[in-house]
Structures are given as structure tokens and as C-alpha cells.
Amino acid sequence: MSVTDAESDTLRGRLLWAEIDLDALAFNIKALKIQASPATLAAVVKANGYGHGSAEVAHAALAAGADCLAVISVDEGEQLRRAGVQAPILVMGHTPVNDAQRIVGLRLTPTVNGRELPLALAALAEAAGVVQPVHLKVDTGLSRYGRPAQEVVALAEALRAIPFLVVEGIYTHFASADETDKTFMQEQYRVFTAAADQLPWISVRHVSNTATLLDCPEMSGDMVRPGLGIYGLYPSAEVKRDLGLRPVLSLKGRLARLAFVSPGDSVSYGRTWRASRPSVIGLAMCGYADGLPRLLSNRGSVLVKGERAPIVGRVCMDMCMLDVTDIEGVAEGDEVVIIGSQGESCITAGDLAEICGTISYEILCGIAERVPRAYFRNGEVVKVGTLTSPLV
């Protein structure tokens, strides 16, 4: 898949963009939903849909069979409502009591951690003539959010008596689901199940992130919450890879300039790279402000004409330089693939993450807002979002 002039006027002449393959996203949703069956699927679209654009991902995920959405904050939920999303939206982060009115007004489903927020919600729901759903989170060992099992059971029973409020769901989140050794995860699951079993009147139990859904589909319960998997990536090298998930995002650009340097010449700030032979240096308009980690300086590579071109010298804020000396016929305007495939070659977000000592999640979320996103369906651009002509 590549952008031609016929396909998109908006991308013509652009030097950096991300391509979002909505067909791959739909494929992944369907594969994960089969894996979770009969559980429902909440597509996790926090952090602007892991950098893919939350509104576009939400609409495409729902069309492909996702049942609802999950985000972290009320702001993220509001963004989806403004984009016309009607489906239920679970807010998984902490919601301050000040946001009670927005929760009710936006029809969001918050995670509650005490009595103050639900009491405020119930009063507002009564005034609005609606019933407000909430979920409870059991902290089973991530020590991040939620309450210990016995406190959740007591809280649930207290909330059960409040009119205009319904405790719809109970959930937990695992600390090491993406590791081969599932001992701790099984223990978390046991603690969660023991608590949930005391609350059989709560209709939706859910524990599964992508790694859990891949490795332990029997834990799917009533609902699953995959994030990374819907974007076509695997959470770690240790999880099962038998679903054939397809990466959704590619990051591409074009060579803006070729420079010819002599032995001894240096490239970029700090002069950390010097030519050992007459070299051709390609300029890509992608830097750390676009989400290309500076840790890739002198370590990463990109694809040009299906071959690897090393990043030479330090990655700058807005640009990076490439050694394209060995790439036959290289020319200004040639396509540069930073994440994605070209010819027979492929570079994944996971490959970049590994060089940088991080995880693919961070690479995806780091792709800056100023990088235009081009959405593809059936190999054609259906929408382009940029800072000057934003989506939503």
C-alpha cells in the first residue's frame, strides 16, 4: 500500500505521514473477538488510539464488531462522543468527583474507587432520569488502581443499595500477563475470582488485556479489553502468535534531499558520525518531535528501495540523516519507511522499541500529533487528518 497522486491530493508532496490500515484493524478485531467468544470486546482506544487516532479507530472497531470502547479519562471519552461515537465507553482511570456532571452528560461508564463519586453520580442521574452504570476495579497485585478484594466487595454491596446507580462491571488488570511464567497472573486471577464470586449480581466480569486474551482465552469472562492487539502487534516475544494479527500503522516519508560527503566529513549535531568513504546522505523529515526516538541515533535504520539505510549521526528534532550510499538508483523523493514494510523488508514498532530498550506501545503512542494520519480502506485513502485540518 502506498500513496499515489491519484489516491490522495492531501498527501501529495508530503514528506512524512502515518498510514492507518482500517482493513487490518477490522481483521484484528474479528480475530480477537473469535478468540474471546462468547465474551464481548471493548476496544481500548486510550492515548489517541495508541497513536492511530481514537475517533477513526473507534468507528472502525465498532463497525468490525467491537461492542464498546475503553479509555483512561473523561477527556478521552468526551473526544469520542464529540466524534459521534454512540457505543458505551468505559473510563478505566481515576475520575475526580468534579467530573460527575460530565460523566452523566456524556453517558460515560466510570471506574469508581470509593463512595463519593457514585453518590454524586446517582444524584445527577436521578435529576436526569437515567440510571448511571459504574465498574469496580480490584487491585490484585499491580498496585496501581482499584481496591483490595475485600474492600471492593464491601463497596459493591454499599453501592448496590443506591438508586439510579448500577454496578455493571467488576474487573482487574494483570501485572505480567505477557510473560511465559503465568504463576503471578494465576494468583491475581484467583483473588479476583474469589471476590467476584461474592458478587454474582454484577453482570460483567473482565480481566483480559491483549496478552491474557492470546495466552489464556479461558479467562475471558464476560468481556475482554485488548489494546495493542487491535493495532496488530503482540505485547511481548513470549506470547502466542497464532492469530496472524496484522500491523495497522506504517510511518512513511520521502527523501527530502541527497547530500554527497567526503571521507572525514561529519553528519549531524555533535559530529558523532564521520564518513569513512565518499558517501551519499539522505535527509528524512522525521525527528524526535515526530516520535522517532533520539536513542536511534547511529543505531536504527529505515527502508529505502526495500533496503536498510542506517540512521547516521544524531536524530534531530525534525529530521534525521540516512546513509544511502549502497542503495542503487537512490533519488530525492524516494519513499522512506520508518515503520512498516517495503518490498520484502519490514521494520516493526517492536524492532525500534528493542533498540531503544522500550516496548512497542511507547513507540506507537509517541508518534506526534503533527504527523498526518492517512486512513486506508481497500488500499485507498479514505481520510487524512493533519494539525491544520484535524479529524473529528
Q: Which is nearer to ligand PLP, 46 or 314 (CB)?
A: 46
Q: Which is nearer to ligand PLP, 234 or 376 (CB)?
A: 234
Of these residues, 33, 46, 137, 252, which one is catalytic?
Answer: 46
Q: Shortest distance, CB of residue 171 to ligand PLP, whole angstroms?
A: 7
Query: How many whole angstroms separate alpha carbon 269 and alpha carbon 253?
Result: 22
Query: How many whole angstroms separate alpha carbon 50 and alpha carbon 37?
Result: 24
Query: How many whole angstroms separate alpha carbon 216 and alpha carbon 66?
Result: 20
Interacting residue with ligand PLP among 193, 209, 220, 325 (CB under 6 A): 209
Query: How many whole angstroms separate alpha carbon 251 and alpha carbon 340?
Result: 7
Contacts with ligand PLP in 147-206 (CB under 6 A)?
Answer: 173
Q: Please, what's the b/e burial string for 229-268 (b: 16 or more CB within 10 A of its CB; e: otherwise)? A: bbbbbbbbeebeeebebbbbbbbbbbbbebeebeeeeebb
296 touches 338 (CB < 8 A):
no
Contact string (CB under 6 A) for ligand PLP, positions 258-277, x = contact = --------------------
Choices 24-32, 183-191, 208-216, 330-338; region in contact with ligand PLP by CB under 6 A: 208-216
Q: Shortest distance, CB of residue 235 to ligand PLP, whole angstroms?
A: 5
Q: Which is nearer to ligand PLP, 69 or 381 (CB)?
A: 69
Return the ∠ at Cα 203 (arms to 198 and 207), rounded to 5°. Answer: 80
330 touches 305 (CB < 8 A):
yes
Q: Shortest distance, CB of residue 136 to ligand PLP, whole angstroms?
A: 13
46 is catalytic: yes
228 binds ligand PLP (CB under 6 A): yes
Interacting residue with ligand PLP among 53, 146, 227, 253 (CB under 6 A): 227
Nearest to 137 by CA among 45, 203, 205, 44: 205
Interacting residue with ligand PLP among 210, 250, 301, 348 (CB under 6 A): 210
Q: How many residues bind to ligand PLP according to rule CB under 6 A?
A: 13
Contacts with ligand PLP in 115-154 (CB under 6 A)?
Answer: none
Of these residues, 30, 231, 269, 375, which one is catalytic?
Answer: 269
Q: Shortest distance, CB of residue 197 to ligand PLP, whole angstroms?
A: 21
Interacting residue with ligand PLP among 3, 26, 44, 108 (CB under 6 A): 44
Element (H or E) spanning 311, and its range?
strand 307-312
Cα separation values, 122 from 142, 174, 193, 348, Å: 29, 30, 27, 46
Return the ∠ at Cα 367 (arms to 226 and 17), rounded to 5°. Answer: 110
3-class secondary-structure state, position 364: helix
Choices 101-109, 119-127, 179-187, 219-227; region in contact with ligand PLP by CB under 6 A: 219-227
Q: Which is nearer to ligand PLP, 196 or 228 (CB)?
A: 228
Q: Which is nearer to ligand PLP, 140 or 193 (CB)?
A: 140
Handedness of CA 174, 177, 181, 182 (dihedral sign): positive
Q: Shortest distance, CB of residue 44 to ligand PLP, whole angstroms?
A: 4
Q: Which is nearer to ligand PLP, 49 or 300 (CB)?
A: 49
226 binds ligand PLP (CB under 6 A): yes
Query: How many whole angstroms separate alpha carbon 249 and alpha carbon 268?
Result: 28
Q: Shortest distance, CB of residue 224 to ligand PLP, whole angstroms?
A: 9
Question: Cα 178 vs. chain centroid, distance in angstroms?
Answer: 16
- Residues making up the chain, counted from first to last: 392
- Cβ atoms < 10 Å from Cβ of 357: 8
Q: Shortest distance, CB of residue 346 to ligand PLP, whole angstroms?
A: 21
Roughly what angle, to the nearest 10 degrees, separates helices 183-197 and 149-160? 30
252 binds ligand PLP (CB under 6 A): no
Nearest residue to the partner ligand PLP, using Cβ: 227
235 binds ligand PLP (CB under 6 A): yes
269 is catalytic: yes
Residue numbers at the binding site for ligand PLP (CB under 6 A): 44, 46, 92, 173, 209-211, 225-229, 235
Question: Which of the residues are catalytic?
Answer: 46, 269
